[in-house]
Amino acid sequence: NDRMNIAIDGPAGAGKSTVARKVAEQLGYVYIDTGAMYRAVTLCAQRAGVSAEQPDKLDQLARSLQIEIEPGEHGQSVFINGEEVTSLIRSREVTLQVSHFAANETVREVLGTMQRQLAARKGVVMDGRDIGSHVLPDAELKIFLTASVKERAMRRFREIADSQIITLEQLETEIAERDRLDEQRDISPLVCASDAVVLDSTGMTIDEVIQAIVKLSRTKM
């Protein structure tokens, strides 16, 4: 068995999910989007009226949730207690709050355990913030994918069909704030693992980034 695990971490909007999904496709691996799991917990908490400042309630909620992920055609489908929430977890409301819930110790413990189980048999490409540094410290290949905050905001801006409702400046502020919260939390913050390969995708196309990672993976096989 020569399958390996690949960790792709980096700040918000660096293109991790697109890149991770395509790399997995090319290698015949399973793609796992860990941000989707934090988003699912956030959606549930919001529905239950539980805030990130209520750790006891949040602990209980995190432990009782049944989160399932399934590889789908456009990445990954996410279910909570049997209900599909794949698009609901992409709302602005969830995006603006998720970093607060992701700072909770129990939430990270529950999801981290799930993530390790999913990667136990190898052959996964997992994207997130703390995969190389914390969840899968033994991953055979670790990538830290980044780009300037301007470039990341611009890419996101182009993606949003309804861009009139939010300005580029606003997007840039929100992305920078999410990075700040993710970098400054106490438990497994966003950090570049010491043995990660840093890829700055500013000025690179998605395909160039994908090919660079696939090429790096070949050197590890």
Footprint of ligand C5P on this chain (CB under 6 A)?
12, 34-35, 38-39, 98-99, 102, 128-131, 178, 182
Q: Which residue number, 39 or 217, has a Cβ lying nearer to ligand C5P? A: 39
Nearest to 86 by CA among 147, 40, 135: 40
**For the packed helices 105-119 and 34-48, what is the interaxial angle rounded to 10 degrees?**
140
Q: Which residue number, 142 or 178, has a Cβ lying nearer to ligand C5P? A: 178
CB of 66 to ligand C5P, least distance (A): 19
Q: Which residue number, 4 or 98, has a Cβ lying nearer to ligand C5P? A: 98
CB of 36 to ligand C5P, least distance (A): 6
Q: Which residue number, 99 or 201, has a Cβ lying nearer to ligand C5P? A: 99
CB of 2 to ligand C5P, least distance (A): 26
CB of 1 to ligand C5P, least distance (A): 25
* 190: phi then psi, degrees, rounded to nearest 5: -65, 120
CB of 113 to ligand C5P, least distance (A): 13
Residue 144 β-bridge partners: 9, 198
Q: Which residue number, 170 or 221, has a Cβ lying nearer to ligand C5P? A: 170
Q: What is d(CA 182, CA 67) in angstroms, rounded to the nearest whole number?
A: 22
